[in-house]
């Protein structure tokens, strides 16, 4: 993994676990698992079981079509449609028809039969609802009766979480560029644990949504900054595998949700167990160092040298590199870089407008945002189409997480062998072709349709996973977190739009696939104009980022020597030479 002291290749990535960078890396990606957990927790926590109107008395007999039972619990196994109703006779002789959102009292009490054509009085469900607790003893839906006229509140659980994810990605990405990656990782990690536990103890629906909104912000913030953090700690050769394994741990979080959901059927206990997964990282995250890249970009040369020296001691390197030699910075400047408050106050604060500082960077940003949006849109459209697979829902979710693992391996191999751009283009175009192919498959060929949808999800998953690393490499250190954060924002927009896209099936059954196909094809064509980043050092200034791939005007109108980028390249080369010497 990066730096002055060690450069892992994809081959020996897992062989040097005793190195400092490996410890930092695996600690960081372990916490990414909790992000996958919280993102998908509502799949089981907000499930709506079968339900009917509450009963205004004690039941003596229950009728459901031709079946007669003594309790409603015995009827749930026969329930097949939301249009069904149950006939119950109370101990006082009254006969009621119980629907999901209303109940009717029959005027004639003598004949107990399922079919009835006489007069009935319709009442609202003033006595609450009865829920099928066969699978879940309690969910947020059953806790606060989020059904019938309150059903829209249940449907807002995931969209409001995604809104928090969207806002958190931008806010914490910007804060990480200003205050450092380390502080944001500390704060967001602690926030995930505290807000995750707090969700389980919320007292009403609105406090539940607010706390989950805050949980979404810190979860998104951690995931965005973690990608940047591990990218800046990883050398050129291992950057691909290191970045993609963050996705692998996120997918493992999805599998944890399936496992915990299968074992725990009460929503607030389920939430506590999911949140405890973050506890080990909370206990050690305060030991994580700041990245040398960010310290150097902030001209904190002495702090950067301290981190480099620590890495050298852990990695048993006898002659660590010197920042002053690589940057040609006098020792006095190291102290000034640490203590000069005037210099700090006069340093430019970067914002999202820097992603559009000139034509080349602006075109790059628009293309990258489109890829983020398309990847998220396609991923969720294909995922929502796969719910018709049937079978065990817990196993289905587990497999949905597991299927992402080979996807990322293929992406890693492609990015290392072919390059980032040359891997991204064919898989985006392949996604578009699969969307077209599905349109020509007869609806009777259900197995073939399912396989085609899985192939589409696999191909869009490769592009979706690749874009995180590609974005981090396309932008300089000073705006890298902001670039990844804004890209993640577009990703969240795609995830919010995806359900509405699926609703267009009522207009034309293939409309969602057509939209995804068009977006994937357009993204693939525009990606051709992006520069290749395979084997290139991370840039440190907007000037260097502009010059990567083609020459152009910088944001300041000048093109000074790329001193910082060259120095950082020397740092990475030094790490690779050191590793080769030790081997």
SS3 assignment for 421-445: HHHHHHHHHHHHHHHHHHHCCCCCC
- CA 535 from chain centre, in angstroms, equals 27
Give 328: exposed, middle or buried? Use CB within 10 Å, 0-12, 13-18, 19+. exposed
The answer to whether the CB of 271 falls within 8 A of the CB of 212 is no
From CA 54, how far away is CA 93, in angstroms rounded? Answer: 17
Which CATH number is 353-547's, of 1.10.1240.10, 1.10.132.50, 3.40.640.10, 1.20.1250.20? Answer: 1.20.1250.20
The pLDDT assigned to 319 comes to: 61
Q: At how many degrees (to 10) do helices 181-200 and 205-232 cross?
A: 150
Report the relative pairing of strands 51-53 and 59-64 from DSSP bridges: unpaired
What are the tens digits of pLDDT across the range 153-171? 888 888 888 888 888 877 8
The answer to whether the CB of 27 falls within 8 A of the CB of 45 is no
SS3 assignment for 131-177: ECCCCCCECHHHHHCCCHHHHHHHHCHHHHHHHHHHHHHHHHHHHHH
Please state the domain extents for the chain. Answer: 15-48+140-288, 51-134, 296-325, 353-547
Same fold for the pair 15-48+140-288 and 353-547:
yes
> One digit per residue, pLDDT tens: the chain, 583 residues?
344 434 333 334 333 333 667 777 777 888 888 888 888 888 888 888 888 888 877 777 788 777 766 677 777 777 766 667 788 888 777 888 888 888 888 877 767 777 777 778 888 888 888 888 888 888 999 999 888 888 888 888 888 888 888 888 778 877 887 888 878 888 888 889 999 999 999 989 999 999 999 999 998 888 878 877 877 777 666 666 777 777 788 888 888 888 998 898 899 999 999 988 778 777 776 777 777 777 777 777 777 777 777 766 666 666 656 666 555 544 444 444 444 444 444 455 667 777 787 777 888 889 999 999 999 888 777 776 665 556 677 877 787 778 788 888 888 888 878 888 889 999 999 999 999 998 888 877 877 877 787 788 888 888 887 887 788 888 887 787 778 778 877 887 888 787 778 768 768 888 888 999 999 999 999 998 888 888 777 777 777 777 776 643 444 444 344 444 444 444 443 343 333 333 4
The pTM is what? 0.75
Compute the half-sphere exposure of residue 502: CA atoms within 13 Å on the CB side of its CA: 16
What are the tens digits of pLDDT across the range 6-58? 433 333 433 333 366 777 777 788 888 888 888 888 888 888 888 888 887 77
Query: Which of 511, 514, 372 minimizes the C-alpha distance to 432?
Result: 514
The pLDDT assigned to 360 comes to: 79
What are the tens digits of pLDDT across the range 177-201? 788 887 888 888 888 999 999 999 9
The answer to whether the CB of 265 falls within 8 A of the CB of 15 is no
Which CATH number is 15-48+140-288's, of 1.20.1250.20, 1.10.3720.10, 1.10.3210.10, 3.40.50.20? Answer: 1.20.1250.20
């Amino acid at each position: 993994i990066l730096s002055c002291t060690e450069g892992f290749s994809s081959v020996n990535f897992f062989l040097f676990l005793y190195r400092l960078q490996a410890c930092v890396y695996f600690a960081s990606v372990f916490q990414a698992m909790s992000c996958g957990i919280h993102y998908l927790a509502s799949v089981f926590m907000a499930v709506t079981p079968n339900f009917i109107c509450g009963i205004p008395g004690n039941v003596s007999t229950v009728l459901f079509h031709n079946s007669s039972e003594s309790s409603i619990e015995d009827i749930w196994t026969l329930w097949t449609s939301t249009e069904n109703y149950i006939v119950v006779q109370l101990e006082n002789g009254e006969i009621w028809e119980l629907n999901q959102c209303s109940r009717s009292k029959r005027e004639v009490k003598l004949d107990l039969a399922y079919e009835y054509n006489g007069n009935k009085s319709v009442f609202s469900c003033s006595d609450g609802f009865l829920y099928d607790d066969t699978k879940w003893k309690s969910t947020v839906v059953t806790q606060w009766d989020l059904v019938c006229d309150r059903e829209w509140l249940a449907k807002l659980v995931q969209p409001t979480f995604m809104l928090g994810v969207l806002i958190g990605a931008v806010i914490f990405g910007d804060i990480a560029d200003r205050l450092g990656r380390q502080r944001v990782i500390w704060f967001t990690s602690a926030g995930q644990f505290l807000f995750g536990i707090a969700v389980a103890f919320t007292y009403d629906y609105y406090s539940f949504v607010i706390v989950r909104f805050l949980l979404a912000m810190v979860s998104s913030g951690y995931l965005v900054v973690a990608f940047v953090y591990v990218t800046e700690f990883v050398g050129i050769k291992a950057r691909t595998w290191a970045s993609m394994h963050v996705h692998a741990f996120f997918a493992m979080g999805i599998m944890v949700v399936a496992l915990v959901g299968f074992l725990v059927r009460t929503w607030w206990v389920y939430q506590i167990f999911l949140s405890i997964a973050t506890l080990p990282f909370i206990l050690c995250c305060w030991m994580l160092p700041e990245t040398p890249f960010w310290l150097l970009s902030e001209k904190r040369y002495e702090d950067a040298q301290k981190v480099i020296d620590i890495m050298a001691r852990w990695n048993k390197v006898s002659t660590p590199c010197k920042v002053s030699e690589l940057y040609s910075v006098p020792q006095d400047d190291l102290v000034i870089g640490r203590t000069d408050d005037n210099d700090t106050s006069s340093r430019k604060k970067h914002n999202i407008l820097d992603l559009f500082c000139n034509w080349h960077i602006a075109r790059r940003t628009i293309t990258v945002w489109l890829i983020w949006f398309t990847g998220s849109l396609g991923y969720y459209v294909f995922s929502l189409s796969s719910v018709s697979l049937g079978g065990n829902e817990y196993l289905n979710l587990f497999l949905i997480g597991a299927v992402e693992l080979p996807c990322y391996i293929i992406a890693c191999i492609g990015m290392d062998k072919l390059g980032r751009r040359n891997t991204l283009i064919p898989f985006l175009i392949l996604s578009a072709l699969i969307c077209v192919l599905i349109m020509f498959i007869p609806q009777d060929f259900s197995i073939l349709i399912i396989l085609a949808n899985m192939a589409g999800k696999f191909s869009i998953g490769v592009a979706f996973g690749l874009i995180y690393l590609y974005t981090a490499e396309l932008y300089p250190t000073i705006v890298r977190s902001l670039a990844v954060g804004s890209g993640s924002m577009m990703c969240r927009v795609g995830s919010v739009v995806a359900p509405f896209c699926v609703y267009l099936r009522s207009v034309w059954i293939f409309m969602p696939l057509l939209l995804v196909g068009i977006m994937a094809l357009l993204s693939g064509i525009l990606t051709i104009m992006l520069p290749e980043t395979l084997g290139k050092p991370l840039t440190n200034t907007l000037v260097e980022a502009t010059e990567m791939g083609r020459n152009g005007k910088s944001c300041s109108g000048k093109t000074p020597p790329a001193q910082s980028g060259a120095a950082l390249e020397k740092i990475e080369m030094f790490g690779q030479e050191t590793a080769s010497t030790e081997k």
